[in-house]
Structures are given as structure tokens and as C-alpha cells.
A and B are shown apart, each in its own frame.
Chain A
Amino acid sequence: MRIFDRLLPEHNKRLKMLLASALTGGLAYIAAIAPATAATVDKKDMVMVVSVINTTNPYMISNIEGAKALSEKLEIPLEVVNSNNSSQTEISSILSILASGKKVIMFVNTVASSDAPTIVDAVKQAGGYVTIWWNKPTDYKPQSVGDNFVAFQKIPGVESGRCGAKAIGDALGGKGSVVMFPGVQDSTTSKTRVAGFKTEMKEKYPNIKILDERPSNWDPQLAARNAKDLIVKYGSQINGVWSADDGMQIGAMQSFENAGLLDKVKFASDGLYPKTLEDIKSGRGGNAIVGETFHRGYMASAVGLYTAYLAATGEVVPSTLPPEKRESLFKLSCVTPSNYQQYLQYDEPDAPKQFVERLVKNGPWNTEPMPLVGGGSNEQGEF
């Protein structure tokens, strides 16, 4: 095995060849029985890995917090992979960790959907267990890979868009004009949120017109610039603004505030960032924010890692789970100015620790406020 340690990080191309030939030999037997013998693995031979797209996004920072809390609770060391927005960095860092020979329990927020098969294959060949979060190819299913690809979990996008549309639709009394700020246009997350928003508007609020949509790449600055352009273009015609995440909403709100229009427009978005929570609390812009969704990065990473941990220890055998527990959506809560108080507790400094306590007690499928609520079969286009 020492030769793997030396070769894997630098010679990724050789990885598959080496491991493939190893699998055909004696090691194939060890890999094949890995799930069955998982329960006997000592904790000190395990390593927990949280892989995030970058460490500048508050959501990703929260992912790391959740992983840290679980790592402390389970007393398993944690490795953080910062992909720096690069699939190459992500994959090579993960391969380096796999080469350490420890049993990995991994949560990966993939940079691109197409990264998932490469990462899962490598983890499987190293006998580790991985939960993929948010991005994977639609037809690449945990069930068809095996127990090492424990689960795919994500925050529902369609439901998020619907929450925002409902909040704006109700606030405007079913009549008016709105503009939209999607994220990176071709990302599944943005696409599903946009689809949810448009569908809800079409179905429930036919008298609300979508004036324009300007993808703003999850970038608050770009959203602020686009908002300024749309203010020039439509002026006071704009009654509502929907953004695919709170970062962009923060930028858009600043532009409307600078134009003196903040108290004439209603906003809805996704994520309930602490800054957004502050704005709802303070009633900024005459209660400008009317709708949000609640989910937290630390909850997602802790649930994903814990699911993988249960598989690694043999407490759960993934292949015996129903499909909706292999491909699952988290429950999404719609937040309004009238119910936001109940979510304040989840931003307390010890909230990740408290959540992990409940998670270990109740399991990944039953821990409020973000339990996994089954597959996305009802949500067209969600996976």
C-alpha cells in the first residue's frame, strides 16, 4: 500500500489502473467485504472529510462548522477540503486523503455535477463511504453504485422558488410586476429555484408579471449592478424582487435603497442569512423582506456525514434502504416576518453542537428542523 501513498496524489491517471489491477488481485477480496467488516473498524482508523466549493461563502463556512461539531461528538478527526472553486483541486485533494489508507467518511459539496462519479469511484475503491450533496448527474444513482455511495442529499430548489413566489404574491395582493435574480444560470440549484418561482406565479398569481430576469452568479456585487440597471429600465414599475439566494438579495436591496425605492418594493429569497434575519427583525425598508426559506449548511453537512458514518460502522446497510433514503430532499421551511422568531435559536453559537446532539439521538431522517423527507419524485426536475 505504501506505493499508493506515494503515487496517488501526483499521478491521478495511474490511480485507476493501479487500483483496478489491485482489485483483480488479492485486494479485491478486501474491498468486496469492506462493508461487512466496517463495524470492526476502530475510530482511530477513521477520518471524516468535509469537501466544500470554497471557504468564502457563508454557507460553506457553515458546512465546515457542522462537520466540526460532528467530528467532536464522534471523536473522529476531521479533514477539510477547500476546492477553491476548482474540480481539479477538489478531486486531487480528495485522492490525497484517500491515499492515507484510513477509512473515510465523506461529505462532498461537488463543484460540478460531473465530479460526483469520479469521487464516488475513488472512495469506493478505497473502501470509504461518501454522501454527495447538492450536485450529481441525474441518472447517477447511489443504488446502482453500491453501499459506498451512501446517499445523495439536497435542499429542494423547486420548493424554495415556490416559497418566494407565494410570499411576494401574497404581499402584492396578487397583482403587480416583479424582477428576478437567478444565480449561476446553468446550475441545477438556480434552475430549480427559478422553475419553482415561475410555476407558483403562473399557477397561483396569474396577474403578477415577471418583467425581467438577470442571472447574477450568486454574486452580491453583480446583483447590485444588475438591480441598478433594472431600476433605470423599469423605475417604479417594479413591485417585487426575487433573488435565488440571500447574498444576491443583499446586493439588490442596497441598490433599491440607494435609489430611494426600498420601502416601495417587496423582496423574497432563499437562505435566511443572519444579515437577512437582522433586516426582517428591524423591519428594514418598511418590512421590505416578505419571504425566506430556512436551511443551514451546518445541518446539511452533519446529516450527510452522519449518514455516511452509520454506513461505515455497519449500523445502516445502504442497500437495504428504500430509494427515497438514498436520494433525499431536506425539509425546507418557508419563513415569513410572522414566524421568523422560531428560527433564531439555530444561529446561537452552540447551535451546531445542539443539532449534532439531536442528530445522533434521532438519526439523519428525523432531526428537526431539517429532516430528510424522502425523494424528489414529486418535484419534477429536482434531481
Chain B
Amino acid sequence: MQDHLSKIWKGPIGLIASIAVLILLFSVLNPRFASVENLQNVLFQVSVPLIILVGTSMVILMGSIDLSAQGVMGAAGMTWILLSPNTRLEIDLGIWAWVAALGLGLLLGLATGVIYAKLRVPSFVVTLGTWYVGLGIGIILYGNGMLPSLTDEALARWPTRLTLGLPNSFWLAAFVAVAGALVMQFTHLGRGILAIGNNELIARSSGLPVSLMKVSVFGLAGLLSALAGILATMQLGSGSPDIGNGQLFTVIPAAVIGGTALSGGEGGMMRSTLGVFLLIILNNGLVLAGINPDYQSGVFGAILIVAIVAVAWPERSRLKVAK
């Protein structure tokens, strides 16, 4: 077990150091940064991208890419809110709203996987298509009516409510992330994903059910994007096809910053998780430090480059060999 744990955390020294430096720096600039309230705030903000990241990381580790998250989020979020107590429709399917929304995400993911694995269309193209199909479903559900808002107070407050001092939305994301890490470390599927990412031909010739694994991973990614869509909708209290806006630009860089190679086969769930933390903390810290909005994008980019250099420094020799 200890060996496995050390494997999970192997490598991200630079990443942890970068995050520590940022935390220190921002705490000096504004003592409120280090407050419990801000910790809860950061964990709340991390939760949605973290859930998406678990699925996306698996896809990337397999040597593919998944661009569909934002669209699937829109479709699932709209499905969920329209079947939960809301201002537009007098309907409340309770648990079935979750089943329908998650089922839709799973279906979209499985369809993507089948097209990718069986018809051999590049994942970049298929998932781009799935993004727009999902967005299209979201738009149709949104229609021309008024913005659907949650009317159930308990549901709308659930993500921010604290359990053991931390927001529920983070507990949900943490559960997904830990489950994802365990799948990667201890299951046949996890090892298969890395094998496919390393060399698909060898994986196939050694008898791995490659196509089945590919379809399963995309199905899982769709399911998790749908869960993220539901959580984001709950957090906002209102439904929108655009609920996933901008998430892709957090999730994919986070995975790469965490050391997950876009070519597949290399990296890990916990490292990607640290990548999300780095990006969210950076953004949160800049706001708390009072950086002028005119300079925020530039400062964000500059610090990010420094952080990535620090992350990659311990691994520079290996990276060099890999070009």
C-alpha cells in the first residue's frame, strides 16, 4: 500500500513547492487569503473542475483527448434542473432527475467512445462533435422560456453547506477524485488505460480488450461531466446551456501542469488534482491581492509560466529525453 501511495505522489515535488510558494506569497499580500473562509471558498471553486478532471485525465492518460465536457455539462445540467423543483416546470422527479441527467451524460460518453474506438475517428474530432451535440441538447431544453431557477432551498444550498468544516461540493469532488485514483492504481481498467496510452499496439497484442476499455473510459468521462454539470447548476441555482463555460481551459491545462503527458501513458490523478488547485489558487490569490483587472490576465500568465518551469525542473532530464 505504501509503495502504491508513494507512486501516486511520485514526482509532484515541484508542483507542491509551487503551490506552497503561491500560498505563502498571497498570504503575505493579504492575510485573509489564509483564512478558513477562503479555504472553504477555494475548495468550493475547485470542486466542479476536479470532477471533470478525473474523467478527462483518464482519457488523456489513454493517449486521447476529451473536449466534450462543457457541452455534456450543459445538456445534463439543463436536464437535471428541468426535472427538479424549478421556476419553469411544475415537476419534481427527485432521484430520477439525477438518473436522467447522469444517464444522458453516460450515453453521450458511450456514443463518443464507440465512434472513437470502432469507427477510428480521432478523439479530438469526435469529442468536439459531442461538445456541440451536448450544447445543442442544452439549447433545445433551454428553449425560449424563462431562466429555470431552483426552488428547492435545500438543493440550492447543498453545495455550500459545510460537513466537517468543508463544503459538500468539495466532499463530492474529493470522493470522485479518490475513487478515480484508486481505479487508476488498483484496477485492471486503470492499468489498461496506461498501457493503451504507452503503446496501443502492444496493449492490443497482449490481449487487452482495448476497444471496450476505450468505450468505458469515454462513458465514465461523460458520466462525470454530467455530474459536474449538475453540481455547477446547483451552485449557480439556475440552469443554462453555458453552465460549463471556460471549464475546458482549467481542466486540460491543469492535467498538463500536473505532469500528465498529452501523448498518454504518463501522469496521475493526484498530480492532475494539484494542477487544478494551482490554477484556482492563482486566480483566487490575484483577486485577493487586489491586482488591477487590467493586469490580471498578464500577471496570471506570467506566474503560471514560472510555476510550470518550477514544476518541470525536477523532471527536466526526463523531459529532455522525451523531447
Interface residues of A (CB under 8 A from B): 55-58, 61, 65, 182, 185, 212-215, 217, 219-222, 224-226, 228-233, 250-251, 254, 257-258, 273-275, 278
Contact = CB atoms under 8 A, between A and B. Distances in A.
A93 B284 CA distance: 40
Contacts of A226: 287
Nearest to B233: A221
Most buried by B among A61, A212, A225, A275: A225
B218 interface: no
B38 A274 contact: no
Given A228-B45, A273-B147, A219 B287 contact: no
A224 B147 contact: no
A131 to B, nearest CB: 23
In the A-B complex, the 8 residue pairs with the smallest Cβ-Cβ separation, listed nearest first, are A274-B146, A229-B287, A258-B160, A275-B147, A232-B38, A254-B237, A56-B241, A56-B242
Where chain B touches its partner, the secondary structure class is helix
B298 interface: no
B252 to A, nearest CB: 18
B41 A229 contact: yes
Interface in B219-243: 232, 235-238, 240-243
Contacts, number: 85
B160 A56 contact: no
B140 to A, nearest CB: 10
A230 B139 contact: no
B159 to A, nearest CB: 8
Interface of B: 30, 32, 35, 37-38, 41, 44-45, 74, 87, 135, 138-139, 142, 144, 146-147, 149, 156-157, 160, 232, 235-238, 240-243, 245-246, 284, 287-288, 290, 293-294
Contacts of A251: 236
B240 A220 contact: yes
A220 B238 contact: yes
25 contacts: A56-B138, A56-B139, A56-B142, A57-B242, A61-B142, A182-B293, A185-B293, A185-B294, A214-B287, A219-B242, A220-B238, A220-B240, A221-B236, A221-B246, A224-B235, A229-B288, A232-B32, A232-B38, A233-B290, A250-B147, A250-B238, A251-B236, A254-B238, A258-B157, A275-B146
Contacts of A214: 287, 293
B216 to A, nearest CB: 30
Nearest to B135: A56
B243 A232 contact: no
A229 B33 CA distance: 9
A24 B206 CA distance: 70
B41 A228 contact: yes
Instruction: Kindly name the residue among A56, A185, A230 whose own CB sees the greatest number of chain B CB atoms within 10 A.
Output: A56
B280 to A, nearest CB: 9
Contacts of A61: 142, 144
B138 A232 contact: no
A248 to B, nearest CB: 11
B32 A55 contact: no
A213 B32 CA distance: 18
A254 B45 CA distance: 14
A215 B283 CA distance: 13
B238 A233 contact: no
Contacts of B245: 219, 221-222
B139 A275 contact: no
Contacts of B30: 233
Contacts of A217: 246
A217 B249 CA distance: 15
Contacts of A250: 147, 236-238
